[in-house]
Amino acid sequence: MGISLFKILPENLFGVLASPVKEIYSHILLRIYDMSRIYGFGIPRENLVEEIQQYLELLETGNLPSEGAEPPLPEGQNQKEFSSTLTPPLSRLAQLLEKDLRDSLDEVYKAGPMSAGSTAVRPVVVLESLPLSHVGSDGEAPVVLRSARERANDIIRKLKRTGWIDIEVRSDYREVVVIPDYSMEILRALHRIASQEKPSYRGYVYGTYAALVEAAEPRADSVDVAYDATNELIDYLHSLYQNIKRYTKKMLAQKRPQDILAVHFLEYQQEILDKAYHQLKTSDSVYKYRSKILSTVRAWKNDPTIISVLAQSALDEKLFTGSLAEARSDILSKLSFIENSYANIDHILNEIDRKNEQYARASLQQVKYFLNNSRDTEGALIQLLCLMGYSLERGLMGKRTVFPVDRLFSLVDVELLDSASLYTPRKARTHTPVELWDDEPDDAEVEAAHRWLAKSLFQRISYEEVDNWVVKKLGHRDSGRASEMNLESMDDFVRLIYAAAYSQNKRVSYEIEPLDTIAESAGGMFRFTDMIITRKHGISRQKHPQKHSGSNRKERPNAELVPRVREHELKTAGGLFEDS
């Protein structure tokens, strides 16, 4: 079922932010948000009126800091016509505000009698003796130029009509301005955007891990905490990706090497690298905690008893309102979201890495571009483009002006060497062919080479070979303990070591979860930490063809089966095996 947004929000809520004086309204709304954090629950109306009044007085005198270009005049009017409707002359924004407030009053009057449920307040304008200059030249009704305080009250009434604020009367008959919940959420987001406030990274991955894996028992609040942390992680990663793009554009817009370096070291490194990117690669790495998060989520999902316990816990703790079946559906939905998010998070992490590499490469190229003072063709072209851009920006030349490029190049005379020169010309080297060695190797050398090659190939144990061995040992089961796999020979024991080492690789179709028990096999010949080997969900893998076949494998000694694997893969299996 779709969500109707304007069943919650007032219909004209965003009208003030689309008006010609949106700069004034946005400033006042953000100031109301700041005051709400100072006064707590309820801003005294008189204090808010004084705050808006001071702002309008500064606006009229032109003492506010420039916040951008002035807004355009109303369509169909020039400055003289528009200014003649108001006296004394005000700044452009103040004029537009006065007209917007008068138009808003006209809309209220045209609305007719107020309905019983209407929240609009009918403004009262008192016309006193006015100078003749306040009467319109076309005979229309006089335009009353209200004071800044009167306009401040009009602004408060308009913000109340549009739903941004509400006014309550307390027990001591004081009026206070309060902000509705929906308005508070919007103002919080606008304040964060206006102040360019960046959310700090809060260890979302470890928070999910702690809530699920380190929980003493399955609880509904643990699922909620993990669900919220995963939601925030995904949102933060998308925000991080967009921020890297934004800083790349900002860096490319810089015109001086020192500005590029300032953006990189004072902004990008502090806001992107130090605050978030470094944590994602070290202390809060997804790859560090993902395996156990996924195994816990999948174990809970696949156990109906745990799902029932979680659903009942949600109902008992008032975390969910509804039937037990609906609570179970909600728990399964949240666990599925966590599982899918962590299972498919590689794509966005790879894109973030790629954008970070693009930024680093682009910033280096920009610095090299601006620091290139060489006299070769590349340096001359760079200087030419810089000079042309400088001239175009300052109006020193038109777009079709022929640019004097002769000032950028140093022309020198070039003369040919004469026959009397002391220069000794280089001589071409002569090639003396060497007789090729065409002796054929004897049979013993060929046989020795074959044995060496066969031994090298036999000593290599690939991912496919280990994966096929695990699939064969599991048979029709989805999971099983290593101690139940009937390890009979050194060959099987070596492949079990490789299975543990390769378990983190994407090429294999199984996962391994170490246990706390010590297992023995082959009559005590092998002793190792027991583990659960589970097929990966959603992966259908055909059995890999064996690369080596024949009877040579059984004839060679067991000692030749000891593999040589990469050091970082063996670390994965470290601590699981020991000699008998």
Q: What is the pLDDT of residue 69?
A: 39
Q: Which of 201, 179, 164, 217 lies closest to 13, judged by CA?
A: 164
Select, from the ranges 79-83, 122-126, 354-358, 374-378, the one with the highest average predicted confidence (pLDDT).
354-358
The CA distance from 156 to 177, in Å, is: 9
Question: Between the CA of residue 269 and those of 318, 351, 363, 404, what are the distances in Å?
Answer: 44, 18, 12, 41
pLDDT at residue 568 is higher than 50 = no
Q: How far is CA 316 from the centre of its chain?
A: 36
More confident residue, 162 or 128: 162
Instruction: Give the mean pLDDT of the chain.
Output: 75
Helix (H, G, I), strand (E, B) or coil at 110: helix
Select, from the ranges 65-69, 438-442, 446-450, the one with the highest average predicted confidence (pLDDT).
446-450
Q: Give residue-wise pLDDT tens across range 262-292.
A: 888 888 888 788 777 888 888 888 888 999 9
pLDDT at residue 18 is higher than 60 = yes
Mean per-residue pLDDT, 366-381: 72
Q: Give residue-wise pLDDT tens across range 426-442.
A: 888 888 888 777 677 78
Mean per-residue pLDDT, 75-94: 46
Q: Give residue-wise pLDDT tens across range 207-232.
A: 999 999 988 888 889 999 999 999 98
pLDDT at residue 247 is higher than 80 = yes
CB atoms within 10 A of CB 342: 21
Per-residue confidence band for 401, with pLDDT thresholds at 50, 70 and 90 = low
The tokens describing 426, both together, are: 């280089």
pLDDT at residue 362 is higher than 70 = yes
pLDDT at residue 296 is higher than 90 = yes
Q: What is the pLDDT of residue 292?
A: 92
Percent of the chain with pLDDT over 90: 10
For helices 324-343 and 286-301, give the axis angle rounded to 10 degrees: 150
pLDDT at residue 249 is higher than 70 = yes
For helices 304-316 and 324-343, give the axis angle rounded to 10 degrees: 110
Mean per-residue pLDDT, 531-537: 87
Mean per-residue pLDDT, 339-364: 89
Name residue 299's amino acid: A
Q: What is the pLDDT of residue 579?
A: 45
Mean per-residue pLDDT, 20-26: 85
pLDDT at residue 84 is higher than 60 = no
For the residues of 325-379, what is the DSSP string, one character each?
Answer: HHHHHHHHHHHHHHHHHHHTTHHHHHHHHHHHHHHHHHHHHHHHHHH---SSHHH
Q: What is the pLDDT of residue 17?
A: 86
Question: Between the CA of residue 393 and those of 292, 371, 383, 387, 389, what are the distances in Å?
Answer: 58, 21, 15, 10, 6
More confident residue, 540 or 129: 540
pLDDT at residue 369 is higher than 90 = no
For the residues of 375-423, what is the DSSP string, one character each?
Answer: SSHHHHHHHHHHHHHHHHHTTSS-TTPPP-GGGG----------TT-S-
pLDDT at residue 390 is higher than 50 = yes
Q: What is the pLDDT of residue 2?
A: 53
Select, from the ranges 116-130, 132-146, 504-518, the one with the highest average predicted confidence (pLDDT).
504-518
More confident residue, 405 or 163: 163
pLDDT at residue 116 is higher than 50 = no
The CA distance from 316 to 220, in Å, is: 10
Q: What is the pLDDT of residue 72?
A: 44
More confident residue, 229 or 456: 229
pLDDT at residue 353 is higher than 60 = yes
Q: What is the pLDDT of residue 307?
A: 92
CB distance 518 to 576 below 8 Å: no
Q: What is the pLDDT of residue 476?
A: 87
Q: What is the pLDDT of residue 402?
A: 60
Q: Give residue-wise pLDDT tens across range 468-525.
A: 889 988 888 889 998 888 888 888 888 888 888 888 888 888 899 998 888 888 777 8
Q: What is the pLDDT of residue 223?
A: 92
Q: What is the pLDDT of residue 373?
A: 64
Q: What is the pLDDT of residue 270?
A: 80
